[in-house]
Copies of this chain bind each other. A is one copy, B any other.
Amino acid sequence: MIPLILERTFVRFLLMSTVVNKKLRGEVLRQRVLETALELFSTCGYFNTSIHDIRREADVSIGSIYHHFGNKEALAKALYDELLERMDAGLREVMERERGCRARCDGIIAFMFRAATDDPRTMRFVLESRHREFLPDEPPVCSSRPFMRMRECIEQGIASGEVCPIEVPVAATAAFGGAIRLVQLHLDGVLEKPLSRYLASMQDAAWRAIASDPPAPAKHLIKETEE
C-alpha cells in the first residue's frame, strides 16, 4: 500500500510534468464534456442544447470543445458510439454468461431493465432520440450492434428449435418489443412501480410469444394461400 502522502506527491508530479499533464487533463476534459453532453442531450434533446450550454455546465471553454470534437454533430456521434459500445459490451457479457435461448432472452431483458433504472440517461439517448435527425449518415438504431445481437439470439433459438419458426423480424420484435416499450413507459415516468417489479412477468410474456414447446402450435406450418 502506498502512503497517501506519497501518492499525492506522485499525482502532483504527474500533473506538473507538462507532457503527461496536458494529455491527462485533455482526457479528463474530454470525458467531462461527454458526460455533460449526455446529461443535456438526454433531458433537453440535441437541438435544445447549445454548445454554450455544454460549455457552461461542463465548465470548460468553447475552444476546448471544438478542439476535441470538431463540431457539435461529431460530439454527438462520439457520445452515441460510446454509449452503443457500452451497451453492446453488456449484451455480449449476457450472451457469454447464459446458455440457451430462454436464459439469454431473460438476461437481455433484465439487462435492459437494469440499465434503464441505473442509467436512464443512456437508455433515453439510445432509445428515444431520433439520431437520424442530427446524424443523417447514421444507420437506424435497430441495425446497430446491440440490436443485431438481440436478433442473433433469436435466430439461434429458431435454429435450435427452442423458438418456433416464425419470421425472424416478427420473433425478434415479439420477444423484445414489449420490454423495450415498458422501458419507454418507465423513462416517461408513467409506471407506478419500479421496472424490476415487472421483470419476471415481462420475461414470461416475452417467452410465451415466441416459445415453440408449450403448446407446439402448428399454425405457421399451414401453407399460406397467396392473395
Asked if A51 lies at the interface with its beta carbon under 8 angstroms from chain B, I say no
Q: Given A204-B219, A205-B209, A206-B209: A198 and B169 within 8 A (CB)?
A: yes
Query: Which of B140, B179, B180, B209 is within 8 Å of A208, CB to CB?
Result: B209
The A interface, classified by DSSP as helix, strand, loop or mixed, is: helix
A205/B130 contact (C-beta < 8 A), A177-B177, A177-B178 known: no
Each complex incorporates copies of this chain amounting to 2
Q: Is A215 an interface residue (CB 8 A)?
A: yes
The closest CB in chain B to the CB of A207 belongs to B209
Q: Which residue of B184, B202, B209, B215 contacts A178 across the interface (Cβ within 8 Å)?
A: B209
Give the contacts of A121-142 with B (CB-CB under 8 A): 128-130, 132-133, 140, 142
A: residues with CB less than 8 A from B are: 44-48, 128-130, 132-133, 140, 142-143, 166-167, 169-171, 173-182, 184-185, 188-191, 193, 197-198, 201-202, 204-206, 208-210, 214-222
